[in-house]
Amino acid sequence: MHERTESDSRKLLRRLRDVLGTKAKGQERLDQITHLIADSMGTEVCSIYLFRDAETLELCATEGLKKEAVHQTRMKLGEGLVGRVARLGQPVNTADAPSEKGFRYMPETGEELYSSFLGVPIQRVGEKLGVLVCQSKEARAYSEDEIYALDVVAMVLAEMTELGAFQGDGPAMGVLHKQPVLFRGNSGQEGAAEGRVWLHEPRVVVTNPVADDPLTEIDRIREAVGVLRVSVDDLLAAESLDKDQKAVLEAYRMFAHSRGWLRRMEEDIQAGLSAEAAVEKEQSATRNRLEQVPDAYLRERLNDLDDLSNRLLRILTGQGKDTGATMPENPVLVARNIGPAELLEYGRKLKGVILQEGSVGSHAAIVARALSIPMVINAERITTEALNGDAILVDGDQGIAHLRPEETVARSFRDKIAMQAAAQKRYASLRDLPAISRDGVTISLHMNAGLMADLPSLEGSGAEGVGLFRTELQFLIRNKMPQRGELAVLYTRVLGAAKGRPVAFRTLDIGSDKVLPYMKPQDEPNPAMGWRAIRVGLDKPGVLRMQLQALLRAHNGRDMMVMFPFIAEFSEFQEARSHLLREIHRERSLGHPVPKTVQIGAMLETPSLAYAPDAFFKLVDFVSIGGNDLKQFFFAADRENERVRKRYDTLNASFLGFMALIVARCAPYDTKLSFCGEDAGRPIEALALAAMGLRTLSMRPASIGPVKALLRRVDLAAARAVIDRAIASGADTVRPALMEFLATQGE
């Protein structure tokens, strides 16, 4: 029986290919295909439903149901048996459809005559395109071989839909990859840009889903899998791999060497698919199985599966990552995800970055912020929809992207960019002026940095120095621990580029969302509150001492500012400070030059440090509030969790009161205090922080102009009075009161 079905499915696919090869128009082709499938499967009804939008299916062709229902019958995702197939991405097979839970009767189709129902998804690698249905009067369940045969046909229909074989009137039969699409993700980095799509990993296009000679195709798939296995084995043989990297690659190799994977692809080829179509069919089927699994580890293996399948397709088709396409002007990088080193290779030539996955604290987001490239993360399905060269608009402020935008959308977006450019010109005129409020208070504005590429912005932005230099990026973008000499050279170049302006170097801040590729990841239930930053440095002091030595040698007679991250209690600061003092003594005793002066600071990122003993504030030279981390601990709201991170407001009365408390703790000892983080670069938030007594703010370079412009036109004492009144009135947030106050202030 199985062999008969396989030959039948090959015969059906050949007939299907003949129909697809005709010059018939899209609707005519679909009608011929439903007739062909019904005839071959021996059923009275065959229908094809296609998505007209992400939530709605439309009956686009049928053999056996009423023709007038075509393009009139529609259903929502999950509605009825057809909607269930589409939602789950899995077949539904029943002998008595009307008695099935969720059955929806559609009188306009005349389907009340038919009892049995078999529906299979038309899908392509995670992209749901529609549903293929067979129905018959006889109350019978379809056999496994019949389900398999229909599944194979659906795979071919998916490939042909992708290639535009069924174009016609209306959205359901519109040309794929041509319609405007809006993607709502999250903001990875603020800013707006217009450009053209550049795919990090271009999609492999399968143009030959049906094969004539199964034996030739099986030889091709076996040879390609052999090449794939050798390439994975070569990766594993690399001497630079540590134990954990090997463990990841072993899981990867297990997929590549899976006999079941190869056997299933060979069965698909026996049924009539080409080697390429067989790879995609198994990729789609396994994706659907894994997406239903509750185990997070198994779901993460989807990335391994996708990567292996894409490698195999590239071997089969010869379509490498380098397709010969020329990077467009104003490229916007679109990727499922990307590592920091890969993103740095693209550098500043990118106008924007859009990731299908990612997080606000990911390494890629850190690099995008360092390069000031607008970034949108969690833009679901963008890699399956975008094509190289497509027009695209990136709105990093809102976390949205417009792919192939309509002209009206593009025009209003260009207006927004033009307004931002005009504002930047206005801010440029303030570059050399101090940030002095109307009542004569001077606020010192500094910039955050983490790469040499950031330093040219020091001059252009009008920043008075670097309030935070993140040293971890140099560790994150390498495959092995950097050497002391390398770091000393880098830090020397940073200081040279700063041209005498102060640079506050933060020692290595790893852990939480920043895991070094060559360091053993810690299995922690809550890494943000786990073994990270100074905790790692004090427990494993070798790396901390090496970095301190590199910093001391780089400063060579200059003034030095160094701060330790994530200090939660006084004793941690004392211990870290002792390490630095010992290294200064050691350098002196070796006859090496030491810095002219040394200021030792702490990052206040946990509420506990605000309540440290007076001795801490007396001993520390400066305190820098790490706003991003402090806020998440103050509000108990994980900044990686989109459900809660937007619930809290920096202008919350309690948080501003906490800022005033920190200012008051530093004041008796004249301890310098600054605020680093995204909020320092938001003008309204910056105004509130300055009003609460903070006199140094550090932000991304592009924010300095807008912040300075606002501070120069406001009376800080008046702003503080507004804040105090709002807090006294019992308001949760002072934002409305401050906005109302600003509306009364002149330009």
**Could you report the per-residue pLDDT of 596-655, keeping only the tens digit for each?**
999 999 999 999 999 999 999 999 999 999 998 999 899 988 877 767 777 778 999 999
Residue 620 neighbours by CB distance under 10 Å: 26
By CB atoms closer than 10 A (0-12, 13-18, 19+), residue 553 is buried
> Which residues have a Cβ under 8 Å from the Cβ of 179 and sit 6 or more positions away?
171, 404
Segments of the chain assigned to CATH 3.20.20.60: 429-743
Indicate the length of the chain as a whole number: 747
pLDDT above 70 for 61: yes
Which of 16-20, 279-283, 419-423, 513-517 bottoms out in mean pLDDT, i.e. has the lowest? 513-517
Whole-number percent of the chain with pLDDT over 70: 90
> Annotated active-site positions, please?
363, 676
Better pLDDT: 372 or 304: 372
Report CA 344 to chain centroid distance, whole Å. 16
pLDDT above 50 for 1: no
Residue-level pLDDT at 4: 39
Report CA torsion sign: 562, 457, 193, 425. Answer: positive
Tokens of 56: 């709605």
Report CA torsion sign: 565, 571, 573, 576. Answer: negative
Residue-level pLDDT at 159: 82
Among 89, 149, 81, 148, smallest CA distance to 124 is for 89
Residue-level pLDDT at 714: 95
**Where residue 325 falls among pLDDT bands split at 50, 70, 90?**
low
Residue 608 has what DSSP assignment? Answer: G
pLDDT above 80 for 21: no
Tokens of 740: 């109302």
Contact (CB, 8 A) for 153 and 48: no
Q: How far apart are CA 88 and CA 284, in angstroms?
A: 12
Tokens of 712: 């120069």
Residue 667 neighbours by CB distance under 10 Å: 12
Report CA 215 to chain centroid distance, whole Å. 42
**Where residue 258 falls among pLDDT bands split at 50, 70, 90?**
confident
Q: How far apart are CA 24 and CA 21, in angstroms?
A: 8
The class (CATH top level) of 429-743 is alpha beta
What CATH fold (topology level) applies to the domain 214-317? Enzyme I; Chain A, domain 2 (1.10.274)
State mean pLDDT over 232-242: 70
Tokens of 15: 């007939």
Helix axes 144-162, 2-20, angle to 10 degrees: 20
Contact (CB, 8 A) for 747 and 696: no
Q: How many helices (H) and strands (E) does the chain have?
A: 27, 23
The DSSP-derived string for 287-312 is: HHHHHT---HHHHHHHHHHHHHHHHH
Contact (CB, 8 A) for 469 and 502: no
Q: How far apart are CA 605 and CA 421, in angstroms?
A: 34
pLDDT per residue over 27-52, tens digit each? 888 899 899 899 888 899 999 999 98
State mean pLDDT over 175-191: 83
Dihedral pair phi/psi, residue 125, rounded to 5° = 50, 60
Of the segments 93-107, 467-481, 508-522, 618-632, which one has the largest average pLDDT value? Answer: 618-632
Query: 131: helix, coil or strand?
Result: strand
**Where residue 363 falls among pLDDT bands split at 50, 70, 90?**
low
Q: Could you give the angle at the alpha carbon of 469 between the alpha carbons of 479 and 629, nearest 5°? A: 90
Contact (CB, 8 A) for 126 and 384: yes
Which of 73-87, 164-178, 417-431 bottoms out in mean pLDDT, i.e. has the lowest? 164-178
Query: 118: helix, coil or strand?
Result: strand
Tokens of 522: 């810690």
Contact (CB, 8 A) for 479 and 518: yes
**Where residue 2 falls among pLDDT bands split at 50, 70, 90?**
very low
Query: 204: helix, coil or strand?
Result: coil
Segments of the chain assigned to CATH 3.30.450.40: 2-173
Q: How far apart are CA 458 and CA 467, in angstroms?
A: 11
**DSSP H or E stretch at residue 504:** strand 503-506
Residue 168 neighbours by CB distance under 10 Å: 18
Q: How far apart are CA 255 and CA 260, in angstroms?
A: 9
Residue-level pLDDT at 639: 75
Segments of the chain assigned to CATH 1.10.274.10: 214-317
Residue 268 has what DSSP assignment? Answer: H
> Which residues have a Cβ under 8 Å from the Cβ of 434 and sit 6 or more positions away?
442
Tokens of 614: 């007076």
Question: Tell me, what amino acid is at 21?
Answer: G
**Where residue 301 falls among pLDDT bands split at 50, 70, 90?**
low
In 661-707, DSSP assigns E strands to 672-676, 696-699
Contact (CB, 8 A) for 128 and 99: no
Query: 44: helix, coil or strand?
Result: coil
What CATH fold (topology level) applies to the domain 2-173? Beta-Lactamase (3.30.450)
Contact (CB, 8 A) for 210 and 156: yes
Report CA 436 to chain centroid distance, whole Å. 39
Q: How far apart are CA 320 and CA 231, in angstroms?
A: 14
> Which residues have a Cβ under 8 Å from the Cβ of 601 and sit 6 or more positions away?
504, 561, 562, 563, 564, 620, 621, 622, 623, 624, 672
**Where residue 5 falls among pLDDT bands split at 50, 70, 90?**
very low
Buried b (16+ CB within 10 A) or exposed e, 468-504: bbbbbbbbbbeeeebebeebbebbbebbebbeebbbb
Q: How far apart are CA 357 and CA 83, in angstroms?
A: 27
Tokens 């009376």: give the residue.
715
List strands edge to edge, sheet with 352-355: 181-184, 400-403, 391-395, 192-199, 331-335, 352-355, 375-377, 186-189
Q: How far apart are CA 82 and CA 122, in angstroms?
A: 11
**Mean pLDDT, all residues of the chain:** 85
Among 47, 238, 56, 273, smallest CA distance to 153 is for 273
Q: How far apart are CA 109 and CA 62, in angstroms?
A: 10
Residue-level pLDDT at 523: 61
pLDDT above 70 for 244: no
pLDDT per residue over 111-140, tens digit each? 788 889 999 999 887 678 899 999 999 888
State mean pLDDT over 531-538: 83
pLDDT per residue over 413-466, tens digit each? 888 888 888 887 888 888 889 999 999 999 999 999 887 777 877 888 889 999
Residue-level pLDDT at 527: 65
> Which residues have a Cβ under 8 Å from the Cβ of 220 and sit 6 or more positions away?
275, 316
Q: What CATH superfamily is the domain 186-200+329-420?
A: Phosphohistidine domain (3.50.30.10)
State mean pLDDT over 487-497: 92
Tell me the CA distances in angstroms from 552 to 27, 448, 562, 602, 741, one per residue in order: 74, 21, 10, 18, 47
State mean pLDDT over 355-360: 80
By CB atoms closer than 10 A (0-12, 13-18, 19+), residue 177 is middle
